[in-house]
Homo-oligomer: A and B are copies of this chain.
Amino acid sequence: GRTHILRYFALKWALCFLVGTLTAAAAFVANLGVENVAGVKFVVTSNLMLERRFESAFTVFLASNFLLTMFATALTVYVAPAAAGSGIPEVKAYLNGIVGCIAAVSASLHVGKAGPLVHIGACIASILGQGGSRKYQMTCKWLRYFKNDRDRRDLVTCGAGAGIAGAFRAPVAGVLFALETVSSRWRSALLWRAFFTTAIVAVVLRALIDVCKSGRCGLFGKGGLIMFDVTSGYINYHVVDLPPVITLGVLGGVLGSLYNLFLDKVLRLYNVINGKGQTYKLLLAATVTICTSCCIFGLPWLDACKPCPADSEEACPSIGRSGNFKKFQCQPGEYNDLASLFFNTNDDTIRNLYSSGTDHEFHLSSILLFFLASYFLGIFSYGLALPSGLFVPLILTGAAYGRLVGMLIGSQSTLDHGLFAVLGSAALLGGSMRMTVSVCVVMLELTNNLLMLPLVMLVLIISKTVADAFNANVYDLLVKLKGFPFLEGHAEPYMRQLSVSDVVTGPLQTFSGIEKVGHIVHVLKTTGHNGFPVVDEPPVSDTPELYGLVLRAHLLVLLRKKDFVSSCTASAADASKHFSPDDFAKRGSGKHDRIEDIELTADEMEMFVDLHPFTNTSPYTVVETMSLAKALILFREVGLRHLLVLPKSSKRSPVVGILTRHDFMPEHVLGLHPYLFKSRWK
């Protein structure tokens, strides 16, 4: 009825509100944690450095990084394996995601907060969409309205967008991120809800930051959520600045695709190592954190000290944990520019690189060294068994790369080096992630300067185009590495040469409208299919007729309830009355019924069950002569899991096959038709 619909609507929006609020809270806690933990670490180390007790400083630095890394890895390895990637959405994974993320980022590893926050946002959405976690007795009746795939998927999409919005304080970018990467299908109503969710994130974050203004949040101050201000309000650029910007884009594309290539190789290696056991995971993380700490602490010693600029507004050398002018080993009145980059949190370093009017603050050699170190540290840090993101390391490395190009070009261009750093970040992000629109908006919202939009767009377009010529984007690489059956959005050209009957395989398992229990149990035990066509046969109908599609999950519910009838002709008209919609509600992930768990007596096995009330009578269908490419479009655009194949001629059985995602995968299709390999690119 109407109240039901209204309640459902209100619930949808309330859940978006909750997802937004909780994700914002998570983002805030993550930032608060990082700023305080990393802050204390840097303050203690810096103070020891000031006293010129360099060995103790290094010991403290190395030990704290090591402990934090081990803590994050242990959390992931022993408590919630899913926090290291996408996986079981549980309260545990959510909490561990935050704590682990704080520890990992505070440990000066070259990993970002954005990835974990996206995961946390999606987790929150998933938990709420399931009506709470059953394991922890946190289910909620009210949320049972939400037991279907599409609503949950939408909510998770909103959650992922909220994660990006929270990580960068960039609500519009969050919406676009969800649009570009997460959702395979998109509707206007979803856009609107995603927008609402990220708006809530922005508002809640702002309110929480207001609370902290009075200084009650420890070291969490201005440096909190990254919001870099390229301080020069008005940026001036002209046609003459195009050649350097284009160069930046082209090189950024090359570097980005190389990044993906290296990352792929390193992750394959790490997968092998991590696969050997939990100890190996810990050992790997330990190795990387020790190397990172040595780099960060050691490399600045190579650098010559610079005298402090006379007209600097900031204290030089810097006091406290952040700042552009780290003293490190230098004499009073001097600063170590490489330490200003290495010996800071990622956020602070990015701010240093982005700030304008600092063209002479850094040596060319420092920037080059920092760029190289950052590039490879980022690649070697991502695959560890701890919550880590790629976004921030790419921004950081890109900023160094941009400055480097700006310095090399020198007086050829009038652009500020801070602007070059911003464009460099865009170039590297475009070259590695290829999500142009959302990356563009992230950069704009980060720097809060729309005037640089055309330049950012140009750089992104060039770097993406260049990088696309070499390899796939980083997400596709990751998905392939994890082995998920990810279906491409477009049909491959060779699919036009095939019809669906060319890829249908295996014996088709169908059920009669009123089917013997024993047969159902046998089929469920011997196949892994999740959907079965239901065909009415005489005497129920005149000729064999397709009745619909029944799901494995629903069959299991029927078997569990044991609502059987004694003969195959008896029509149990009211069978559905014995069930409530809740019985068929989709369970949360990891909570599937299994056929092995259902015990039936021999008598029961001889009985029948009427499938009619539980069958989807409107399955999507294609004729067997349909082109595979067009069937794929239907499959993708409507978001199907099963597609029934009907015969062309009426003389055969009413259904000749069933297509699932697996049947459209290039490996399967090319496995059946290897001669198409050579025409793959035609």
Contact = CB atoms under 8 A, between A and B. Distances in A.
A199 B626 contact: no
B207 A437 contact: no
A171 interface: yes
With a 10 A CB-CB cut-off, give which of A189, A199, A239, A546 has the most chain B CB atoms. A199
A14 to B, nearest CB: 13
A312 interface: no
Interface string A442-479: 00110011110110011001001000000000000000
Interface residues of A, number: 71
Interface string A478-506: 00000000000110000000010000000
B626 A623 contact: no
A211 to B, nearest CB: 10
Which of A175, A186, A187, A192 gathers most chain B CB within 10 Å? A192
Contacts of A490: 189
A1 interface: yes
A621 B621 CA distance: 7
B651 A543 contact: yes
A191 interface: yes
Interface stretch (A215-223, A581-589, A633-641): A633-641
A187 B183 CA distance: 11
Contacts of A179: 179, 191
Interface string A233-277: 100001100000000000000000000000000000000000000
A461 B193 CA distance: 10
Q: Chain A interface secondary structure, helix, strand, loop or mixed?
A: helix
Interface stretch (A418-426, A507-515, A642-650): A642-650
B203 A458 contact: yes
Contacts of A186: 186
Given A543-B649, A621-B621, A450 B448 contact: yes
A365 interface: no
A681 interface: yes
A546 B238 contact: no
Interface string A303-345: 0000000000000000000000000000000000000000000
A172 B441 contact: yes
Given A191-B437, A545-B648, A239 B207 contact: yes
A649 B540 CA distance: 13
Interface string A14-54: 00000000000000000000000000000000000000000
Interface in A63-106: none
Nearest to A464: B192
Contact of A489 (B188, B461, B637, B649): B188
A620 interface: yes
Contact of A436 (B195, B445, B542): B195
A42 to B, nearest CB: 28
A196 B648 CA distance: 44
A172 B187 CA distance: 19
A59 interface: no
A436 B171 contact: no
A180 B191 contact: yes
Nearest to A447: B450
A546 B624 CA distance: 11
A210 B239 contact: yes
A650 B543 contact: yes
What 4 A-B pairs have minimum CB-CB distances, sorted nearest first? A650-B650, A199-B457, A618-B627, A637-B637
Given A202-B457, A543-B650, 6 more contacts: A172-B440, A199-B454, A448-B451, A621-B626, A621-B646, A634-B638
